[in-house]
Amino acid sequence: MEGHPLALHDVMFIPALVAQASDEQNKKWLRRAQRREIVGCYAQTELGHGSNLRKLETTATYDVSTQEFVLHTPQITSLKWWPGGLGKSSNYAVVVANMIVKEKHLGPHSFLVQLRDEITHQSLKGITVGDIGPKLSFNAIDNGFLGFDNYRIPRTNLLMRHSRVEPDGTYVKPPHAKINYSAMVRVRSHMATGQGNFLAQALTIAVRYSTVRRQGFIESGEQEVKVLDYQTQQHRLFPSIAKAYAFTFAGYETIRLYEQLLKEVDTGNVSLMADLHALTSGLKSVVTHQTAQGIEQARMACGGHGYSQASYISEIFGVAVGGCTYEGENMVMLLQLARYLVKSVEQIKAGESGKLGPLVAYLAVKVDGVDLEKGVEEYMKAFQHVSRLQTWKASEKFLKLLKSGEKREVAWNKSSVELTRASRLHTRLYIAETFKRSVQEVADPRLKEVLTDLLHLHVNYELLDMATYALEDGFLSSSQLDYVRDQLYFYLAKIRPNAVSLVDSWEFSDMQLRSVLGRRDGNVYENLVAWAKASPLNKTDVLPSVEKYLKPMMNSKL
């Protein structure tokens, strides 16, 4: 759970080489990285800048006389800060720096940089590197800092799959402005499945414990009921079970789109790039935020014992919540998606709906009404409506401010809350649609029935959560929302008999969960007592602090 020092070597360093290094460069480096003859990380974030890549301060200035790039950290805020594996493990890094050629700033580009000697592992001259210290979690990973003092690397260490610098300094730009961000797009694509996994672990613990814990009565004369039989407990946990499945399905779909993008980019087709960059920004934000909320609800659903480290949910939370800030702070991610949504609205207003990407084509289509009793497809239309409504509302506010004479960034700031709401709704629509498509593709009829119940629970829960938007323009009536509530409660009850099987299907072992509360055998109380007795404080009956501090205090005449 605490991670592994080489995790980022596999998750970011190698994929960055695959996506951004040329075939010739990968003949030299990729095989060595795959064999772990060299260990690498991905160094982008700086002490003073993270998500605003255009403002990264590390420079890579091309020296045409030596055909080298000179990497330099001009000030303290320019230090690379946070890259996983950088502190002590890596001897190479893919470094993102602002490239300067012939005194022209060409924006962020990626370079392969050796940091440490391959034999002694000593840092090289001109390199300052180290660990940034303890964190909330993930402390097995050596997140680090990195600085350069006019450090020289060969011209050919610029990753050149999509752009390159010739020996004479001629710059050949990439086919798409954001193509060099593909490594981040990949990581954000995989984050949805990873976060779904964290949420699934916490829910497995909470659901199992909720079938062991008995508290109170529903009908007199019976034994105390399992807390999972309370509707409030079901409402607390079951929608998050649906989300864990939904996030996993959305992640798989987005990974497939990313792999399709890589193939198309090599043929010169970059049409998916803008759609996918925007989508993964929103997906990363919504999924990590809702995962953190779901894990915390799972902890509280375990009552007082959930606060004990014996539950292990607090450890899961500590790891998962980091996703809200790493690989892009969530609000910034939502605003990146919002720029794409506003651009799409502008295209529609200009009569260019045909140019819209497939994920935003619905913004040009007005939905007049829905009959929710006809099924999930009608819910999708409702989600499209509320997303379209909010996107147009936020975009019109921004464009109106621009028209009134406000500077673009001032107008953007004044519209930003409404814009982030639009981004969330757009992303939640995508998650619901991928959930629906994934369930439709399931062949096993019994499995499909259970997953269909989860899908129905998800869409009813989500639509209730979006009710303000649906009521705003009268799209849904109060009687329709009453129907949605009734459906939500119906599916809570229907899912109850399958709840344990749904979490057990994730097949987490007791060793993986490390939870006394979430044991597969259900022997919670005996093992909770054994866990407590094993505390280091219980190795002796009387602690040394009694003689040193407590007795003098109790015997004093104060």
- List binding-site positions for FAD: 45, 84
Query: Which DSSP symbol is given to 190?
Result: H
CB contact at 8 A, 99 and 109: yes
Give me the phi and psi of 421, to 5 degrees please: -65, -40
CB contact at 8 A, 196 and 458: no
Contact partners, residue 73, CB within 8 Å, separation at least 6: 57, 58, 79, 80, 128, 147, 148, 149
Quick one: tokens of 298? 């799972």
Q: How far apart are the first and last CA of the chain?
A: 49
Query: Which DSSP symbol is given to 42?
Result: E
**Residue 12 to residue 95: CA distance in whole angstroms:** 12
CB contact at 8 A, 179 and 265: yes
327 tagged catalytic? yes
- Catalytic option among 46, 57, 68, 327: 327
| SS3 assignment, position 45 | coil
H or E element in which residue 130 lies: strand 127-131
351: left (phi over 0), alpha (psi -120 to 50) or beta: left
The 3 state secondary structure assigned to 326-357 is: CCCCHHHHHHHHHHHHHHHHHHHHCCCHHHCC
Task: Return the axis-axis angle of helices 408-440 and 231-265, rounded to nearest 10°.
Answer: 100
CB contact at 8 A, 398 and 413: no
Burial pattern 82-91, b for ≥16 Cβ within 10 A else e, equals bbbbbbebbb
Q: Which residues are catalytic?
A: 327
